[in-house]
Amino acid sequence: MKKYSLLFVGLFLLSSLVGFGQNKIGYINSTDLLQLMPERKTAEEALEKEALALQKQLQTMSTEYQSKLTDFQSNQATMSDLMKETKVKELTDLETRIKAFQESAQGELQKKEAELLEPILKKARAAVKTAATKSKYTHVFDTASGILIHAPDGDDMLPLVKKELGL
């Protein structure tokens, strides 16, 4: 009897190990991976070039504003009320244009960064998926962001949870 119970425990442990062997979990730091990719440097250089061009435009606008403000402040005493009002409106409009340009430039840079990084990220994701599949990893986590970046399609719990909620 003792012999059968040892055999049963042995088979149970073996089946447990086989069951655990079906899931192989790995991790990668996507930030480190992206730093290693030569395409990233090219993208960063292009983004920096774009940022410098926008910075130059902003500097030109700021210089114009400072020049007009200095002129207004130095000649304000000799200006008529109508001329003062016109100059103040001109300065206010220029301030508004500068602020709008800054916001627009920031949005433009974010858009450009996403556009430049998308093919690099796509390539990295494909490489992770290929490496995971070849090495039989069922799940791969990104330690840089703490998210799951590779899992079998069958692991999507949404259909089961929807059924549980009656949705």
Number of structural domains (the chain) is: 1
In this predicted structure, what is the pLDDT of residue 70?
Answer: 96
Q: Name the residue range of residue 159's domain.
A: 22-165
Do the beta carbons of residue 127 and residue 90 sit within 8 Å?
A: no
In this predicted structure, what is the pLDDT of residue 163?
Answer: 81
In this predicted structure, what is the pLDDT of residue 90?
Answer: 96
CA atoms within 13 A on the CB side of 19: 6
**Residue 17 is assigned to a structural domain of this protein:** no
**Residue 12 is assigned to a structural domain of this protein:** no
Do the beta carbons of residue 139 and residue 26 sit within 8 Å?
A: yes
**Residue 1 is assigned to a structural domain of this protein:** no
Tens of pLDDT, residue by residue, the chain (167 residues): 444 443 343 434 334 444 445 788 888 888 988 999 999 999 999 999 999 999 999 999 999 999 999 999 999 999 999 999 999 999 999 999 999 999 999 999 999 999 999 999 999 988 988 998 898 888 888 888 888 887 776 666 677 777 878 87
**Residue 140 is assigned to a structural domain of this protein:** yes
